[in-house]
Structure formats: structure tokens, C-alpha cells
A and B are shown apart, each in its own frame.
Chain A
Amino acid sequence: MPAASVAAASAVMPAALSAALREEAVFLTLVVAGQWCAVAVHAVRDVLGAHSITRIPLAREEVAGSLNLRGRIVTALDLRLRLGLPPREPGAQTMSVVVEQGGELYALLVDQVGEVMPLPPEGFAPHPPTLDPLWREVSHGVHRQEDRLVIVLDVGRVLAIG
């Protein structure tokens, strides 16, 4: 028994280590209004399905409200509105990507969550000069993939409102 667990641990070790090393390059992809985006996995704390959200009057439009995540209050931001995209149809399904910033938790409301995947550095391209200045401000760059372009969001900038 002890031998087996040691073996298991050593087998896991290198993978975990390399994952940690490559952490910066691992991203969670998501979709907002048909656009693929990605956020660095190290900032993500949780992914939630539909959740009841309390509206916050007088808050900025993109603040969807706040929700209770296992006893912690999480402020929800509608990524569509934050990115200047059209609001979703009433009743449409949303997913929340919970990220941490400065000790506070925020939920980014998105239409759909994709997968966790590494984005190889060679795929990155600078912003096209015609990109909306707002998008330029909140993203690190564009990642080219075979079938699509993924906007890599800068979570810190996305949350820098108000």
C-alpha cells in the first residue's frame, strides 16, 4: 500500500508541476454573444450554472447583482454589457465564471463556458488596429486557432469599473 501511493504521487508530481509552470498559459474559454473569449485559469475560482442573483439598484448597468457562493457574497458582472454587446434575450441561460480579484470574488455572466485549454504562445497575435478601443482595453490580445479567434481577456481590466 505505501509503495503504491508513493508511486502514484510521483507519477502525478511532474504533471502537476508542469501544469503549475504553464499555468499562465492555461485558459478557460467562454462564449459571449457568439464571440469566443478566454480568461486565465489561475484567476478562476468556480464555474456556476444558473444562480439566483440579487439586483443592486443604482449600480452600473453591467453589474448584474450579487449572489451567494457558499456563504461568500459574489458580485456578478454581465460580460455582454461590460463588453458593449447586446443584452441577452430574457430568460436565456447563463453561466457564471467566478474569478478572484484583490480578495473579492466576482462572477462574470457568460452565455456558455467552453473548456480549459492551453493557448500556445505562438498563436497569440496583437490587437488588430481596428478593434473596438473598449475591447482593446480589456484584453491581452487575440489567439488564433484553426476555426476561430479567441479574445484573451484581462480580468483585472474587465473588473476595473466604477
Chain B
Amino acid sequence: MDDLLADFLTETHEGLLALDSALVRLERTPDDQPTLSEVFRLVHTIKGTCGFLGLARLEAVAHAAENVLGRYRDGTLPVTAGGITLILRALDRVKEIVAGLEAGGAEPPGDDAALIAALDAAAAGEDPGVVAGGGVAAAAPPAPAETAPAAPPPAAPSSAESPPEPGPAATGNAPQTIRVSVDVLEDLMTLVSELVLTRNQLLQLARAHQADAFAVPLQRLSHITSDLQEGVMKTRMQPIGNAWAKLPRLVRDLAHELGKKIELEMQGAQTELDRQVLELIRDPLTHMVRNSADHGLEPPAERRAAGKPETGRILLNAYHEGGHIIIEIGDDGRGLPVERIRAKALANGLATESELAQMSEREILRFIFAPGFSTAQQVTAVSGRGVGMDVVKTNIEKIGGTVELASRQGRGTTFTIKIPLTLAIASALIVEAGGERFALPQIGVVELVRVGSGQEGAPRIERIKDAPVLRLRERLLPLVSLAGLLRLPAAREEEGFVAVMQVGGQVFGIILDRVFDTEEIVVKPVAPILRHITMFSGNTILGDGSVIMILDPNGIARAAGVGLDTAEEEGRRGAPAARGVSSEASTSLLLFRAGPGGPKAVPLGLVARLEVIPGERIEMSGTTPVVQYRGGLMPLVAPMPGWVPPGAGERQPVLVFTENGRAMGLAVEEILDVIEERFVIEPGTARPGFIGSAVIAGRVTEVVDTAHWLAQAGEDWFRPAAAAPGGAPRPRLLLVEDSAFFRHLVVPALAAAGYDVTAVESATEALRLRDDGAPFDAVISDIEMPEMDGIAFARAIRAGGPWAEAPLIALSSRAAPADVARGRDAGFTDYVAKYDREGLLQSLRECLAVTPAAA
């Protein structure tokens, strides 16, 4: 409303000015049709607008004046000096009211009855000229010449006392806002940017030369430049509401078209941002709101069935945070279909089944930002054309922003966009790598960590194989070396800095040699012949006059392979607490050495025996080394490149795994230790054969994916008798397990055994799947879990619903008879100890044989 009023006042001022001179012209040449039409149109516009804004007094006066002018224009009434005077009086009244409006935000009280009556009388054909004619008519001409001074005296002081919000007012009816071409503002911005650079340069010079005489005026220049910069930035600021203006209509039309009930709520429409950013954000926002309306929100019937109000809500929220603006687009719809995204990702070859099995829900959701990814089952006119979120993401990243999403099945989806307030001037860290300086925009920098062996307690950069990592507050941060990425000579790594970056959902560190200070930089695009280097977003001139390249965190993340949008930050925000209370976080691990890099680990429970085999017993069967072991042949595989079986006289340590009565030996260099420890696996750094890495006994340790190596030992290793023959659908299993480690362990094993496995982190999530009607042939659940434990979960399942009859297998580290009895009481079909892979597979075969198609 305030904005509308401000616009109205600006327009009315312009109109009144034009009217004054037009009326005077009209008085001189009463028959001038174009002038008459112009006057009529101007008055008509004022009347129309104030009617719309509910300004009753203004409307009545303007309406009466318009009546008279209408008759003049139609030629049914001759233009007389008296009539013009009357119109001018009406306009003066309009100005008076407008002045009051400006000062107080509302129409001032007053009685216009006499004036309106006189106008009506004139419209009816009476010539008022006789009454006031000469005197007022003579007084009228000077009025337009000095519009401002002619303002009613009381208005001016009151407007000074309470300056209205949209711009400072000098006098009552001087226009408070003026229209300036955008080009002028752009030029101003460019000039100010240059000024900032020059100022920085001067300051640097002054620092170097200790020129005292210049210090004070320079300081002053610096302040003024900063103020000017701020002022010019302000002229470019627009409320984000401007980008939202079309959305209510869009949503209304969509609701109509889709047969949905949608309520659009907009908060923080007054939040201002640079108009350039505003323009660039407009389309992505529209697209996302459209997506929410089309895909996010359910039809009324479905909402009713889900126990939600029929009317779906889309919430737009904007606010400032630091130097950024945060925009949230949320809906209370069905949430993103994780399963469908997973299937689509697999179908599109974006990830393999085993990669997907290791991913958290968050990571999977981010596939919607992959190019050409759309899960809409039907292509509608509204969205679902397969172009979309990737474009949205690209556009947002182009302006140095980030987009994240959170989705809950049945509860809705929220996208969070973070963008800089302006593109022209950014704050950057000046850093050095490989002997060169670079500017690192601060938007993505979460923190700076000093690394090195120099100080006591300072974190050190460690390596897993060739990949540098940093242990930072009990998490493993993948690192990239800036010098390495830019193919510059790498400096020694013992001393230096790591800039912890957040790009999208991805957190990683950039290894830097030195960090200087922060500087305001003006981002300039690079020359066309350098555009192919995605590592830079632009270049700029520093205070010392040198040119510096500006790093693009997105480009670095992509080049380093950490920004593929397979965000591994799963529990970080999601449920850090849940992981902390995970009951079986403490696990017995066998540590061993195999190949380069740090130690490797495998859960002790998976290892059948440890053997040291003399080299002469190792024979070759084709290309596979084997040993005769317990009446059979045991293949040996080694989780390290370039392993050759030892010759006679040497001894080979082997971890023996058994499965289906067969054995496989994992050849290692040395068995180190068995320890009991709680740890958290970071899947991010995984390479084939390893589930991921974790900090174990204070060292970065890779955890072996036994399924991978077992599969290497023989193709038919994991093809149990129960595997569905000839393309029959694979039995669907649901695994409820709060520990990421066990999910990563069990899911690939079950998948390899021919099951279609879905893993969830909690019982509540599982129950949500049930309520969504997801069908499963059997459910495997952990017992000790935070929130709802396995016992309560079993009771909930048996209490009714589609899974009431489904086989339910408990998987627990506690398998004492009392525990088993308690589990069976609660409704578990079977009870299997953790790590007992064979026992679990056996149990599944039995359960599924009894109920071939439960659920």
C-alpha cells in the first residue's frame, strides 16, 4: 500500500504540473481540442487512481471537475474563463489534499461540498464566471509558475516533521520521488566502483609512504567514498516484492487449471536487493513457485485423505542475513518422492545402485538439480518438461548464490536460496597459492583454519591414498589444493591455511599457502579468451594496483569433484543428535595395513578367522591365487593394487570370510590391532572396495566394503539359491537402521543377494512409508534406536495397516534369549544377531518362503 501510494503521489505530481500549464493554455485557446483532451485525460487519470486507492475526497473533487471538462471536451459547454478558474480551484484543492496525504499518509479532513456544488452547477450549464470571474482568473496565471511556493502553508512543516517513508520530502508538493533511467544508475554504479578501486589504491599508497599530510583528507575521501557507494547502492535497491508481484495471479491461475486450492503467503516483500540481482532471480523464483503448485501440492481430495487442510500453502519468505538475502520457497505438499528420484537417478545413469544405497536422502534429493531431471509422471502444461531445477540452480549459481532444499515425505518441500545483495561489489579474502595471489569471495567461506605442524594442537592435513583430508571437529573434510587445481607449483603443506567452503550442500576445504586480508573488490568479467576457465568468476584490480583473479567456489568444487551435488552432509543438519545416541555406535574393528595410505578397518564380526599362510601353499588357479583350506579351495584377493602372492619362505596374513559354506581370503600386509570404538563413517571419500573413511583410534582409516571383495573372489559368490530366477520381481525389503555404518554394510550385502532394499534411518520414517502405502515383502529392523525403538516399531506395525502380516526380522547386537523372547512378544518374526549375514539371509529365505507375497 505504501508503495502504491508513493507511486500515486509521484504520478499525481507529474499530472498536476502538466495540468496547470495545459489549463492556462486552454484558457487562451478555448477551442484547442488536443489540449482539452489532454486536460480531461489527466483529470480522469487522477480520479481513476484515487478511486482505486480509496481516496474519497480526492475522487469526489476530481470527479466533479472531470464532469465539467467532459462537457467542454464534448463541445456541449463553451469554455469560459470562469469555468477554467473553477477547474483551477478544484486542482488547487486536489494539491492541498495531496499535500496532506503526503504529510500524514491519509486524506486530511475538509469539506469540499461548496466547490463540488459550484462545479456541478458549471457542468449543468451555469457560468460561474460572473461571480468570481475577473479576480480569480487574474490570480490564476501566476499559480502554475510557482507551484511549490503556492502550497498550502500548513502542509510543509508537517511534512518536515514526519518525513514519509518513501524518500525525503523537501516541501509539501515537490515530488518526493523522481524517475531516473536505469542506465544512469548503472553508469553511476560503474563510476562508484572505479572510485572505490582508486580509493583503495590511494589508501595503500599512503600506507606505504607514510605521507602524513595526506592522511586526514584521504581518510575523509575514504569515508565519503564509502557513503557514496552505499548511497548509490541504495538507488539500485528494490523490494523483492517487485519480483513477486505476478505470483499471486500465477498461483491463482494455476490453482484453477490444476483444480487445487492454493494459498500463497508472502513474507518480507519489503526486503530490498540490487535490481540486477532481482532481475536474475525473478525467473527462477517463478519456476519454483510453479513447481510447488504443480508437483508439490496435492489435489484437495488427496490432502483431505492425508488429514491436511484442503487448501495447500505456498510460503515465500525473504530476509537479510549478513551481506546476503535469503529467500525461502516452501509448500506443505507431499514432499519430494525420494524413491522416484532414486529410480530416476539410476535409470539416467547418474549413480549406480551401490552408490545410491550409500547415499542419504538429502544426497538423493539433490539429483533434482541434475540436468534433464524431472520426476513428473506426466508432462503438464505447467511444469515437468525436464528442464527446470538444473536451470534454476545454474542461474542462481551464476549470481554467486546457492540453493538448498529440505523435504519431508507428506509434509512438504522448502527451497532456500542464498544470494548476495549486490553483484557489483563483493568482499573477498586475498589468498596466495603456488606463489600467486587470488581473491576468494567470502560468500562461500565458512571458516579459515590454520594448519601446520608448527603449533601444538593445530590440525594437520592427512592423506588417504592421494586425497588430502582434514579432521575438523570430528568430521572429515575433503580438501583440494588450490595450487594443484590451478597447476601451480605446490608449496609445502605443513604450514598453511584451509578455507572451509560451503557450496550447495557440500562442505570442503581449499588448501592455501597464505591468507592476507579481506578487501572490497569490484567484480569485472574476464576477457572472452579466458572465459573457458571455469575456476575464475572474474578479475579485479587491488588496492596496490595489481590485477588479481577472482576464484569461483562453484567452479572449484566442480573441478575438484566435490561439487557433484552428491552432498554427503547427511546427518550434519538432519539428525546429529540421533546419531550421537545411536546405541551400537561402539563396534569391534580389526585394523590392518594394505596398500598405501592410512590403516584399513573391517568390522571384526564379519571376519571368520585370521590366518597366516606360508607362501608355498599359495597356488594359482588360472589368474586367481588360491590356497587349499579346510577341504576346499579358498580364493585370495588383495585390497591393494599390484599385490603379488609371496614366494616360498614368506608368510601371507589373510582375513578369512565365510559365506554359504565357502571361504574367501583377503590378503593384507599386516594385521595391526583389534579395537572397540565408536566412529562415524564419512561416505564422501569412498573409492571402490571401501565404504568410506572414519577417524578410528585417532587416525583416518578406510573401512573395507567386504561385499565388494567377496564379489571379486568369485562371480557366483553372492548368488544364493533363493535369488529370484528368470526375471521374477526381486523381493522388496525395508531396512530400519539408525546407524549409517550398518546401513552401508547391510544394504549392499542384501542387494547383492538379490533383494531390492530400501533403507531408512528411523522407525518414524518407516511408518511414514507405510502410511504412504509403500509395499515391502519383509521388514528388517534394528532394536536399539533413538525416538522409537524396534520393539515399539514392531508393535506399531502389528497393530494394523498394510504391513500387519509382513515378516519382521529384528537385527540386534543383543541376542540373548531374553532379548529374543522380548522381540518375539512384540511381533518380530525372527531375531538375528548383527553381522550374522548368513543368518540374516537364511532368515529372509525362510520368512519369504512362508509368505510369498505378503503386503
Contacts and interface: CB of A to CB of B under 8 A. Distances in A.
A123 B535 CA distance: 47
A66 B533 CA distance: 14
A68 B530 contact: no
Contacts of B531: 162
Contacts of A20: none
Chain B binding surface SS class: mixed
A68 B545 contact: yes
A31 B486 CA distance: 32
A162 B539 contact: no
Contacts of B540: 73
A9 interface: no
B644 interface: no
Interface string B499-543: 000000000000000000000000010111111110110011100
Interface stretch (B21-29, B35-43, B546-554, B690-698): B546-554
Interface in B463-478: none
Contacts of A73: 524, 527, 539-541, 547
A58 B536 CA distance: 10
B752 to A, nearest CB: 42
B529 A57 contact: no
Given A56-B533, A58-B533, A73-B541, A66 B547 contact: yes
A97 interface: no
Nearest to B545: A68
Interface residues of A, number: 22
Contacts of A71: 194, 197-198, 541
Contacts of A41: none
Nearest to A71: B194
Contact of A57 (B488, B528, B532, B546): B488
A158 B506 CA distance: 41
A67 B527 CA distance: 12
A65 B436 CA distance: 12
Contacts of B436: 54-55, 57
A55 B539 CA distance: 12
A159 interface: yes
B205 to A, nearest CB: 14
Nearest to B483: A57
Q: Which of B526, B527, B533 has the most CB of A within 10 A?
A: B527
Q: Which of B436, B539, B549 has the most CB of A within 10 A?
A: B549
A75 B436 CA distance: 17
B141 interface: no
Contacts of B524: 73
A162 B486 contact: no
A68 B549 contact: no
A149 B510 CA distance: 52
Interface string A101-113: 0101010000000
Q: Which of A60, A67, A106, A162 has the most CB of B within 10 A?
A: A162
B434 interface: yes
B547 A159 contact: no
Contacts of B488: 57
A59 interface: yes
A59 B530 contact: yes
A135 to B, nearest CB: 19
Contact of B547 (A54, A57, A58, A63): A54
Contact of B530 (A52, A75, A102): A75
A127 B690 CA distance: 62
A124 B827 CA distance: 98
Interface string B428-447: 00000010110000000000
Contacts of A161: 529
A97 to B, nearest CB: 16
A60 B541 CA distance: 22
B197 A59 contact: no
A162 B530 contact: yes
A85 B532 CA distance: 25
Contacts of A59: 529-530, 533
A56 B545 contact: no
A57 B197 contact: no
A60 B545 CA distance: 24
Q: Which of A58, A59, A67, A161 has the most CB of B within 10 A?
A: A58
B530 A63 contact: yes
Interface string A147-162: 0000000000001011
Contacts of B527: 66, 73, 75, 104, 106
Nearest to B433: A57
Nearest to B531: A162
Nearest to B435: A55
Contacts of B549: 54, 56-57, 66
Contacts of A66: 527, 539, 547, 549
B573 interface: no
B487 interface: yes
Top 10 nearest A-B pairs by Cβ distance?
A57-B486, A75-B527, A162-B529, A54-B547, A66-B547, A58-B533, A104-B527, A68-B541, A68-B547, A73-B547
20 contacts: A52-B546, A54-B436, A56-B530, A57-B434, A57-B486, A57-B488, A58-B486, A59-B533, A60-B529, A63-B529, A63-B530, A66-B527, A66-B547, A68-B541, A68-B547, A73-B524, A73-B527, A73-B547, A102-B528, A106-B527
